[in-house]
Chains A and B, each alone.
Chain A
Amino acid sequence: MMRTAAWLLGALLLAGIVHIVAVIGLPRYAVNDPWREIGAIVGDDGFAPLPRAVPGERSLPGLDPAMVHTACRFALDKGPVRIRAETTDGYWSLSLHDRRGMWVWGVDNRAAEQKPIDILVATNVQVAQLRESLPDEFEDVVIVDWPGSEGFALYKILLSEASRRSEIEAAAASARCTTTPPS
C-alpha cells in the first residue's frame, strides 16, 4: 500500500514537471509563426492588405471581420523603421506585435486625436543613438523602444458602412513602413 502510494506520488510530481515543460516549450516549437505567415501573404515591401474575411474563406486567425486589415512586417537590423499612415474619422487601431504575434504597443483613434500616424520603431541601441542627436524631422514622431529586432505592424480600420469602403481602403493603402537609415 505504502509502496503504491509512493509510486503514485512520484508519478504526480513527474506529471507536474512534464506539464510545465510542455507549456513553456510549446512556443519554441510552435508550427504557427505569424511573422512568417504574414511575410508569405504580405511580403517585405511595406504594408499590404491581409485577406478580408470573405464568406466561406478563412483569413488569418483572430482577425475581426468587421475591420479592414493591412500589415507590414519589419526587421530593425538595417535601422529604425518609420510607420506612417493617414487615418479616418471612425475607429481605427494600429498595433505592433512581436514575432510570436504578441501585442507590444498600440495606438487608436481616440489616443491619436485625429492626427495621422507617425511612429518610429527602434531597438534599445538605436533609441540611444537617436537620443544623442535627434534629427529635426523626428521631433513630433513617437519613438517605440522595441524588444528584439523583428515584428509586425497591424493597421485595422472599422468598415462602418459599405458606402465608405473606398475611403477606408484609401486610408489603409496610405500606410507606409520604411527603414530609416541612421544618420
Chain B
Amino acid sequence: MRFLVELFASLVIALALGLGSAWYMVAAPRIGYAIGAWKAVPAVSAETADPYTRARVARTGEIVLGAGEGLLFIATHDDDGRDLDGACDYRIAGATPTARLWTLSVVDAAGRSPASVTGRTALTSREILRDAGGRFEIVVAAAARAGNWLPSPAAGGEHLFLRLYDTPLALSPDPSMEMPRITREACR
C-alpha cells in the first residue's frame, strides 16, 4: 500500500514538474538576453532554432523575423519593473543599437493593434523627430500628442515591439548596447 502511494505521488510530481517547466519555457520567449526592460527574441532560422523556440513558434503560429532579417525586442514592463498598462502614458527616450531601419509598435494583451483616429499603428526610424544628437523621445499614449506619438490601447495590458532590421546585433549579440528607456508618466 505504501509503495503504491509513493509511486502515485512520484508520478504526479514528475508530471507536474515536467509539464509545468515545459509550459514555462514555451509560453513566452525565455532564451536570449535583456537590455533594460527590453527582452531580445533570438533571430530564428529553420536550421539553427532551439527546441524551445520551435515549440513556441509552433504554438503561436507567429511569423518570426529570420536570422538574416533583424532582431525583435519585446517590452512588457517599464524600467521600474511595473507592467505596461494602457491607462498610463509612457515616454520612450534614448537611442537604439545600429540598424538600417527600426519600427516601434504597441499591441494589447491579445496581440491586437489599438484603434486610433489617425490609423497609425507603428512608428519607424525614418519618420520620427530627433534632437541634434540623434536621440529621440516617443510618447505612447491613448490620447493624441504633438511630436512622436504612438497610440496605445485605452486600458488593459500592452506590449511594445521594437524591430531592428538589418542590424549587426542579430548575428553578434551585445547586451551592453543602449536601448531606449521606458518611463511611466501620468496614469488615468
Query: Which chain A residues have a beta carbon within 8 Å of chain B's beta carbons?
Result: 3-4, 7-8, 10-19, 21-24, 26-27, 30-34, 37, 53-58, 60-67, 90-91, 93, 95, 97-98, 100-104, 106, 108, 110, 147, 154, 158, 160-161
Most B CB contacts (10 A, CB to CB) among A32, A91, A102, A110 go to A102
A32 touches B58 (CB 8 A): yes
- With both beta carbons as reference points, the residue of chain A lying nearest to B55 in the complex is identified as A26
Q: Does B9 count as interface, using CB distance less than 8 angstroms?
A: yes
Most buried by A among B121, B122, B151: B121
Q: A106-B68, A106-B69, A160-B126 are in contact. Are A101 and B57 (CB under 8 A)?
A: yes
Decide: A7 and B14 in contact? CB cutoff 8 A: no
The interface of chain B, by Cβ under 8 A from chain A, is 6, 9-11, 13-19, 21-23, 25-26, 43-47, 49, 51-52, 54-55, 57-69, 100-101, 103, 105, 110-116, 119, 121-124, 126-127, 151, 161, 163, 165-166
Q: How far is the CB of A97 from chain B (nearest CB, A)?
A: 7
Looking at the assembled complex, report how far the CB atom of B126 sits from the nearest CB atom of chain A, in whole angstroms: 5
Interchain CA distance A110-B99 in the complex, whole Å: 12
Q: A18 contacts which of B15, B66, B116 (Cβ < 8 Å)?
A: B15
Report how many A-B pairs have Cβ atoms within 8 Å: 193
Q: Are A110 and B58 in contact (CB under 8 A)?
A: no
B111 near A61 (CB under 8 angstroms)?
A: yes
- Complex contacts, A7 vs chain B, CB 8 Å: 6, 9-10
A158 touches B54 (CB 8 A): no
Q: How far is the CA of A160 from the CA of B166 in the complex (A)?
A: 16
- Contacts A22-B22, A23-B25, A60-B61 known; list 17 others, CB within 8 Å: A3-B6, A11-B14, A13-B14, A14-B11, A18-B14, A32-B58, A32-B61, A34-B61, A37-B61, A58-B110, A64-B161, A66-B123, A91-B100, A97-B66, A102-B45, A102-B64, A147-B46
Q: Is the CB of A108 within 8 A of B69?
A: yes
Known contacts A26-B26, A56-B115; A62 and B17 CB within 8 A of each other: no
A98→B10 CA distance, assembly (Å): 40
| With A11-B17, A62-B62, A158-B124 as contacts: A18 and B111 at CB distance below 8 Å | no
Q: Specify the chain B residue showing the minimal Cβ separation from A21.
A: B18
Bound CA span A22–B16, Å: 12
Residues of A within 8 A of B126 (CB): 90, 158, 160
Q: Assess whether B61 is in contact with A104, with CB atoms less than 8 Å apart.
A: no
CA separation between A106 and B6, bound complex, in Å?
54
Given contacts A24-B51, A66-B105, contact A95 B69 (CB under 8 A): yes
- The answer to whether A66 touches B103 (Cβ under 8 A) is yes
- Report the separation of the CA atoms of residues A106 and B64 in the bound assembly, to the nearest whole angstrom: 12
The one of B18, B65, B111 that contacts A17, using a Cβ cutoff of 8 Å: B18
What are 16 A-B pairs with beta-carbon distances under 8 A? A7-B9, A11-B11, A19-B17, A22-B18, A26-B22, A27-B58, A31-B61, A53-B122, A58-B110, A58-B111, A61-B111, A97-B46, A100-B58, A108-B69, A108-B165, A160-B127
What chain B residues lie within 8 Å of A15 (beta carbons)?
A: 13-18, 21
